[in-house]
Amino acid sequence: MEYIFHITILISIYGILALAQNLVMGSAGLLTIAGAAFYGIGAYTAAILATAFGFNIFTTLIIAPIVAGLIALGIGISFARFRDDYFLLATLGFLMIFNTVVRNWENVTGGSFGIAGIPKPHIFSLTFDTPFSFLVLALIVLFIVIGICYFISRSSFGRVLNAIREDEDALKIFGYKTSTYKLMVFVIGAMLSSLGGVLLASYITFIDANLFTVNESILLWAMIILGGIAKNRGALLGALLLITIPEALRFFGFPNEIAGLMRQCIYGLLLVFLMLYRPKGILGQYKL
């Protein structure tokens, strides 16, 4: 059962990250690869505050989104002049800067050694130190994020974001300041991503820069595209599939010498076939 709880915790964390990425890319059409950076900002904020200052995770669940949001605000204002592919490249540069900083700021981030000994979350005498108890916490945060994303998608703000995705230039004619809306959703997405980072740091009790690379951002892209971009259910489905499929392949009886290679090949082929026959994703209506 503990293994199932472990997988469900990972699905919950990546579900949060996929929802945040879908809000930025799916709703507003902003091509960004900075998801892993804000995920990492949340994790490092939680780890530093917990190990150096004794902060509880419930406090960092409030502080980390504020830190990530302020950084995203600065980045968003700096990158406001960029659109489409240029914005994507600019956010890639930010992710690379983030990785460089955490690898070299050894006094604060631990550098290449990372930060170990992050305490488990606790409130009063209750400690979330078992897989089941931590799963309850992760699900609570996930449902809060789901609620936020569904509220935005059904609000007038969400409808403006969808219009920006479809035709930003046409929307400008009607007097909408589209850059303001894009900046707002970029900040909100960063804040939500940081929550996943806080949970990860507290769950595995160790973080380093290798956890927050371009590969993580690409994985988030794959989740929302596979599940169906611009659909909250699609983001959750993508997170479920891309976490469970590699785990399920572990139970196939491949020879030990080629087990890892075969799992990766089958995993890749499944993604290729899904994209060939469902280019809009499993639940999607919008093609990136």
Question: How do residues 60-85 score in pLDDT, each as one tens digit?
Answer: 999 999 999 999 999 999 988 888 88
Residue 118 counted as domain residue: yes
Residue 140 counted as domain residue: yes
Residue 25 counted as domain residue: yes
CB 205 within 8 A of CB 116: yes
Instruction: Phi first, then psi: give them for residue 168, nearest 5 degrees.
Output: -65, -40
Residue 240 counted as domain residue: no
Q: What is the pTM of this model?
A: 0.93
Count Cβ neighbours within 10 Å for each residue of 51-63 and write b for 16 or more, e otherwise: beeebebeebbeb
pLDDT at 126 over 90: no
Residue 251 counted as domain residue: no
The model's pLDDT over 156-206, given as tens digits with 9 standing for 90+, comes to: 999 999 898 888 888 888 788 898 999 999 999 999 999 999 999 999 999
Rounded distance between C-alpha atoms, residue 143 and residue 145, angstroms: 5
Tokens of 253: 């009886």
Residue 224 counted as domain residue: no
By C-alpha distance, which of 141, 137, 140 is closest to 128?
137
Residue 232 counted as domain residue: no
Q: Which residue range is the domain that position 35 belongs to?
A: 2-213
Number of domains in the chain: 1
